[in-house]
Every structure is written in structure tokens, then in C-alpha cells.
């Protein structure tokens, strides 16, 4: 990477001069004033051991969710500095030869300064944000790209770095924090909007809900307000979808009422009557042994004619019944499709809500009025 690509020698120069906070700006272990400062942003310190590896431990916790790979991060940073020697050599402090500087830096337990942060940020193509007590945020840019990942670390009580986490984040997952730059006008507008929202949002939502209820009642002729409110809630207050759902529900109820007087039952009754008549014919024939054979034949023929006439009438009834059955099945299929549509819509909304929740919990915005870019 050229000097221009990484922010040039000025970036390495500013980072290479390891600036220590003034005495008294932090109050020892626990973070003191810095902990309070972070809490106001919804953040907290995740402390790492002060064993000389704290910088790479803190960066590792941000990047991977733990600090166990700090030695690998150290070696990769040193290798990057050696590869881009021309970017770092002019800014080694205390007139220490560059080779000796990187040799010492490669040893576990050796304190690393801002030049190592610059190298780490460039090597991983991300930005590192440094929180300090009573000071603007420092942002060390490892790339010129926008919307890149940020690692947030804290620098406190002279020569120690810790990881910065969301206030409720106790996981071993990578940290995802992102700076959000605000200006005073934006801040004022946000506060005004918040006040307005707090005063009028409830009334506005209630008014919109009641308006939607009345529209559905009027369009469907339904008089059950609670039912309409429930359907609107299921349909995410989409008035057209709610109207369709109420109409479908009314249609299902109508079909159910018709099924109680289904023509099929009439056909079954007719068939039952025919069987009873045939049984009576059989009983009379078997019970009267004195009848002439011809009369028996006539009765039998008449029974056959009755059967044929009944069979001739049955196709008409079956055709009518079949048509009615097809209509009922069509309605049921429409109802099922609508039910599946409602379920799919609810699932989509739930998935969308989960994605939004996951996204909002995945990246936490760190609001700040100013930051120093290195």
C-alpha cells in the first residue's frame, strides 16, 4: 500500500507519536470517569489484562469476540509494518532503528502504540475508534472506503487499552459499533421531533385506527367492531385486506348455513324413501303367496319401472348436487388461499421485524458531535 492509499505519512506520523492522556483524566482500574462517559453513550468497558498485550487483546475482542489470538494479531501487524516500511520508519520515536523497533514490537508483552494501530487498521481494511476520558473520539482510518467496519477501543490511565462494548453485551461475539456524526442543528431537531412525537403520536395512531375500523364496517356491513379491530390488527391495518377478510368470513358463514339445508340431504332422503318403497314392494310380494304369477310379474315389472324412473331422476339431482359441491369446494379453496396469504404475510412481517431487530442489535450507533480523523 502506498502512502497515499493509507492516508500518507501524516497519518503514520500522528499515530506514531504516542500521545498519553494527562494525569488525572482517568481514575485507575474500573474506568472511573471514562466508564461514566461511555455509559452515557450506551457503552461500557470490557477490560483486558494489563500484560503489555492489551492493545492486541482489545482489538481481537472487537474483531473476533475474544482476545485469545492477540499474538497472531501482533505478528501480522509487525509483518505489515515491515512490508510497508517506508510508511512507518520515518516516525519511529526516540531515534530507535526501525529494525530494532519492529523486533521489539514482535515480542509478546511489548507495549504497542498508535503506529501499530495504524498498521492493524490498514492490514484489516477497517477503522479503529479510540475513546479517551474527556476528549473527542479518535478515528484511525485504515481505508478510504465508506461504511467499513469500526473497532472501538478505550485508552485510559496512561498506557492501557480496553475493548468497548454495548452496555448489555456480555457475549463472546464480535462487537459491531459504528460512529454516527451529529451536528448541533441535527441534535436540536431530534429533540424537537422526540417531544412532538411523545405528545401527538398516541392520539394520531388512535385516530388512524378508528378511521380504518369505520371504513371496514361501512364497506362490509359488519357490526362487530371488536372483530374488525382484530382483523385489522392481523392484516397490519391494511384496510383493503381487512375488508376482503371480513367478506370471506361472511361468505364462509353463509356457506355453512346453506350446508345445513344442503340438497344432498334431500337426495339422501329421496334415496331412503325409494329403498323403503322397494322394501315394502318386496314385503308385499313375499307375504302374499296367493297372488297370481302374472300379478307378481306385473308388480315386479312395475318395480323395475319405478327403479328406472328413479334412476332417471337421480342424474338430474346428482348433477345439481355436483354443481353445488363444486361451488362449495371452490369457496373453500379461496378461503384456504386467503388463509395461506394471511399466514405468509404475517410470517413475512415477523421475518422483517426479526431482520430489523437483528440489524439494530448487530450494529450499535455511537453518537458523537466531533471526532479527530488520523
Whether the CB-CB separation of 106 and 77 falls below 8 Å is answered with: no
**DSSP type of residue 90:** G
Q: Averaged over 205-223, what is the pLDDT?
A: 85
Q: Averaged over 77-96, what is the pLDDT?
A: 94
- Report pLDDT for 203: 62
How confident is the prediction for the chain on average, in pLDDT?
Answer: 75
Q: Which of 18, 51, 73, 211 is catalytic?
A: 51
Q: Which of 87, 115, 160, 162 is catalytic?
A: 160
Rounded distance between C-alpha atoms, residue 331 and residue 339, angstroms: 12
Per-residue pLDDT tens over the stretch 138-148: 999 999 998 89
- Report pLDDT for 290: 44
Closest CA to 165 of 64, 49, 61: 61
Grid cell in block for residue 152? 472501538
pLDDT band at 9 (very low <50, low <70, confident <90, very high): very low
- Report pLDDT for 326: 81
Rounded distance between C-alpha atoms, residue 140 and residue 372, angstroms: 8
Lowest mean pLDDT among 28-37, 88-97, 351-360: 351-360
Q: Domains of the chain: which residue ranges?
A: 8-181
**More confident site: 30 or 132:** 132
- Give yes or no: 271 in active site: no
- Give yes or no: 51 in active site: yes
Rounded distance between C-alpha atoms, residue 68 and residue 309, angstroms: 93
Q: Which residues contact 103 (CB under 8 A, 6 or more apart)?
A: none
Q: Averaged over 337-359, what is the pLDDT?
A: 61
Residue with cell 466508564: 35
- Report pLDDT for 71: 98
Lowest mean pLDDT among 159-168, 175-184, 199-208, 285-294: 285-294
Q: Which residues contact 366 (CB under 8 A, 6 or more apart)?
A: 41, 43, 129, 137, 152, 177, 178, 179, 180
Answer whether residue 292 shows pLDDT above 50.
no
Per-residue pLDDT tens over the stretch 219-260: 888 888 888 888 888 777 888 888 888 887 777 777 767 666
- Report pLDDT for 344: 72
- Report pLDDT for 323: 79
Q: What percent of the chain has pLDDT over 70?
A: 64
**More confident site: 292 or 139:** 139
- Report pLDDT for 245: 82
Q: Averaged over 310-315, what is the pLDDT?
A: 51
Lowest mean pLDDT among 16-20, 47-51, 93-97: 16-20
Rounded distance between C-alpha atoms, residue 72 and residue 59, angstroms: 12
**More confident site: 43 or 209:** 43
- Report pLDDT for 195: 54
- Give yes or no: 160 in active site: yes
Q: Which of 18, 54, 152, 292 is catalytic?
A: 54
**More confident site: 13 or 94:** 94
CATH of domain 8-181: 3.90.70.80
Answer whether residue 356 shows pLDDT above 60.
no
Answer whether residue 332 shows pLDDT above 90.
no
Amino acid at each position: 500500500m502506498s502512502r497515499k492509499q493509507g492516508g500518507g505519512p501524516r497519518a503514520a506520523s500522528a499515530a506514531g507519536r504516542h500521545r498519553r492522556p494527562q494525569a488525572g483524566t482517568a481514575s485507575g482500574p474500573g474506568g472511573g470517569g471514562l466508564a461514566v462517559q461511555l455509559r452515557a453513550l450506551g457503552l461500557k468497558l470490557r477490560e483486558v489484562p494489563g500484560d503489555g498485550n492489551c492493545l492486541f487483546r482489545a482489538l481481537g475482542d472487537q474483531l473476533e469476540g475474544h482476545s485469545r489470538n492477540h499474538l497472531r494479531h501482533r505478528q501480522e501487524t509487525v509483518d505489515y509494518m515491515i512490508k510497508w516500511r517506508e510508511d512507518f520508519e520515518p516516525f519511529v520515536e526516540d531515534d530507535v532503528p526501525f529494525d530494532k523497533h519492529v523486533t521489539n514490537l514482535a515480542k509478546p508483552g511489548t507495549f504497542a502504540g498508535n503506529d501499530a494501530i495504524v498498521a492493524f487498521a490498514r492490514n484489516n481494511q477497517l477503522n479503529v475508534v479510540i475513546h479517551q476520558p474527556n476528549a473527542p473520539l479518535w478515528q484511525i482510518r485504515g481505508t478510504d472506503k465508506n461504511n467499513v467496519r469500526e473497532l472501538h477501543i478505550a485508552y485510559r490511565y496512561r498506557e492501557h487499552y480496553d475493548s468497548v462494548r454495548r452496555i448489555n453485551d456480555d457475549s463472546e461475539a464480535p462487537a459491531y459499533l459504528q460512529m454516527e456524526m451529529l451536528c448541533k442543528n441535527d441534535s436540536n431537531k431530534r429533540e424537537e421531533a422526540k417531544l412532538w412525537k411523545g405528545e401527538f403520536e398516541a392520539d394520531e395512531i388512535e385516530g388512524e385506527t378508528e378511521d380504518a375500523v369505520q371504513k371496514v364496517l361501512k364497506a362490509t356491513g359488519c357490526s362487530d367492531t371488536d372483530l374488525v379491530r382484530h382483523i385489522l390488527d392481523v392484516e397490519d391495518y391494511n384496510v383493503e385486506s381487512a375488508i376482503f377478510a371480513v367478506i370471506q368470513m361472511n361468505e364462509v358463514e353463509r356457506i355453512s348455513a346453506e350446508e345445513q339445508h344442503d340438497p344432498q340431504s334431500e337426495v339422501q332422503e329421496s334415496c331412503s324413501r325409494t329403498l323403503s318403497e322397494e322394501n315394502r314392494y318386496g314385503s308385499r310380494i313375499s307375504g302374499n303367496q296367493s297372488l297370481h304369477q302374472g300379478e307378481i310379474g306385473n308388480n315386479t315389472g312395475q318395480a323395475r319401472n319405478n327403479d328406472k324412473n328413479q334412476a332417471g331422476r337421480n342424474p338430474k339431482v346428482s348433477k345439481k348436487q355436483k354443481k353445488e359441491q363444486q361451488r362449495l369446494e371452490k369457496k373453500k379453496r379461496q378461503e384456504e388461499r386467503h388463509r395461506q396469504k394471511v399466514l405468509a404475510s404475517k410470517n413475512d412481517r415477523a421475518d422483517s421485524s426479526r431482520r430489523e431487530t437483528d440489524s439494530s442489535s448487530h450494529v450499535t450507533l455511537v453518537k458523537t458531535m466531533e471526532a479527530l480523523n488520523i
